């Protein structure tokens, strides 16, 4: 059965290009196109598409406001198809935080149209079509306060992995991190061009400082380091002072950077002094690494199915026996900071 796609973009030229490229895919059917949010909303109701591609800059209601309404009233997998300007990157990062499941840049780094081949976008659409939304539970404010009061002082490092739906989940999680949280490293599967903007978005989520990871950075309390390169794995180098390490290498579990690569290095270099957290995402990246962390004595946590956008990565870890705790996103910080919670 074909994946039914609705294209929402104010540019008639871009709609035509997207339709042409996606129509070349045997398993994708473009069932409609819309030039603005009002038309898009009517077509979503009438056509019930599997996936929506959504532009950000549109007349009338902009893409962010429309996305928020979609996710509130009729949750549907949405892929942001954005321009490549700095402002566009920031807006796309915010869109991921609102629940978009993927992002695709219309232009390559040289400014040329990146849609000569629809294969990469088609893969994003195939992944998005597998997303099944759950209605996440609300997190009571007391959870954040309890998390911050109960932080354990023997934790040297927190390592987090996430993929589809991860930016939204990370905002919830980091909201509960205290200003003096243990050094934290994150691998979030995303187009690396959007990573700096995602770091800025996550930095606004809570008191901890979020930044893009660079080589040989000392890992400091109160700081969160986000992987942001397409050809390097983010890992940790041990010693009296932990530091970041960016290393070239082939894909691990299908990804560069890889959650498994990060978790494996944490298991080796930090062992029982670490906490590993595996959040929503498609596939299995992070499952074996979380198991290695657990076997090294680390405290390991997986997000539960009900609050995941996609339960693939946590499910794989749980099936291996890698997660000592399975918890909803709103309670993970409590378990991370107080291992007896």
**Which position among 189, 232, 233, 335 bears the catalytic label?**
189
**Which position among 10, 127, 285, 304 bears the catalytic label?**
285
How are beta strands 3-8 and 28-34 bridged, if at all? Answer: parallel
Q: Are 133 and 75 in contact (CB under 8 A)?
A: yes
**Which position among 82, 163, 265, 294 bears the catalytic label?**
163
SS3 state at 179: coil
Report the Cα 255 to chain-centroid distance in Å.
Answer: 13
Place of tokens 């400091």: 220
Q: Are 339 and 272 in contact (CB under 8 A)?
A: no
Q: Are 54 and 66 in contact (CB under 8 A)?
A: yes
Strand partners, 29: 4
Report the Cα 262 to chain-centroid distance in Å.
Answer: 16
State the Cα–Cα distance between residues 14 and 18, nearest whole angstrom. Answer: 6
State the Cα–Cα distance between residues 49 and 77, nearest whole angstrom. Answer: 9
- 257 upstream amide cis, omega within 30 of 0: yes
Q: At what angle do helices 86-98 and 195-203 cross, to 10 degrees?
A: 60
State the Cα–Cα distance between residues 288 and 41, nearest whole angstrom. Answer: 41
Active site residue 294: no
> What number of helices (H) and strands (E) belong to the chain?
12, 14
**Within 13 Å, how many C-alpha atoms sit on residue 196's CB side?**
8
State the Cα–Cα distance between residues 200 and 202, nearest whole angstrom. Answer: 6
Name the CA radius of gyration of the chain, rounded: 20
Active site residue 285: yes
Q: Which of 17, 10, 94 lies closest to 58, judged by CA?
A: 10
Which residues are marked as active site?
Answer: 163, 189, 285
């Amino acid at each position: 059965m074909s994946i039914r796609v609705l294209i929402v973009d104010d540019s008639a030229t871009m709609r035509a290009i997207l339709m042409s490229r996606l129509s070349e895919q045997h398993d994708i059917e473009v069932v409609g196109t819309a030039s603005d949010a009002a038309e898009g909303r009517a077509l979503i109701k009438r056509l019930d598409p599997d996936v929506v591609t959504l532009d950000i800059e549109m007349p009338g209601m902009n893409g962010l406001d429309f996305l928020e309404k979609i996710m509130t009233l009729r949750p549907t997998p949405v892929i942001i198809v954005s321009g490549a300007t700095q402002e566009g990157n920031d807006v796309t990062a915010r869109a991921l935080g609102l629940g978009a499941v993927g992002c695709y840049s219309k232009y390559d780094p040289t400014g040329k149209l990146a849609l000569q081949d629809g294969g990469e976008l088609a893969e994003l659409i195939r992944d998005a079509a597998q997303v099944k939304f759950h209605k996440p539970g609300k997190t009571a404010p007391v959870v954040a306060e309890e998390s911050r009061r109960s932080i354990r002082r023997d934790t040297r490092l927190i390592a987090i992995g996430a993929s589809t739906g991860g930016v939204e989940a990370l905002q919830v999680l980091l909201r509960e991190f205290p200003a003096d949280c243990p050094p934290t490293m994150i691998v979030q599967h995303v187009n690396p061009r959007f990573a700096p903007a995602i770091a800025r978005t996550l930095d606004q989520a809570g008191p901890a400082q979020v930044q893009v990871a660079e080589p040989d950075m000392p890992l400091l309390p109160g700081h969160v380091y986000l992987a942001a390169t397409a050809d390097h794995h983010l890992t940790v180098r041990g010693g009296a002072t932990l530091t970041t390490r960016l290393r070239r290498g082939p894909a691990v579990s299908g990804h560069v950077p890889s959650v498994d690569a990060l978790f494996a290095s944490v298991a080796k270099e930090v062992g029982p002094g670490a906490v590993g957290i595996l959040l929503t995402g498609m596939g299995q990246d992070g499952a074996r690494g979380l198991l290695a962390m657990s076997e090294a004595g680390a405290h390991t946590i997986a997000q539960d199915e009900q609050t995941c956008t996609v339960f693939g990565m946590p499910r794989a870890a749980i099936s291996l026996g890698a997660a000592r705790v399975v918890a909803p996103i709103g309670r993970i910080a409590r378990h991370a900071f107080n291992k007896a919670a």
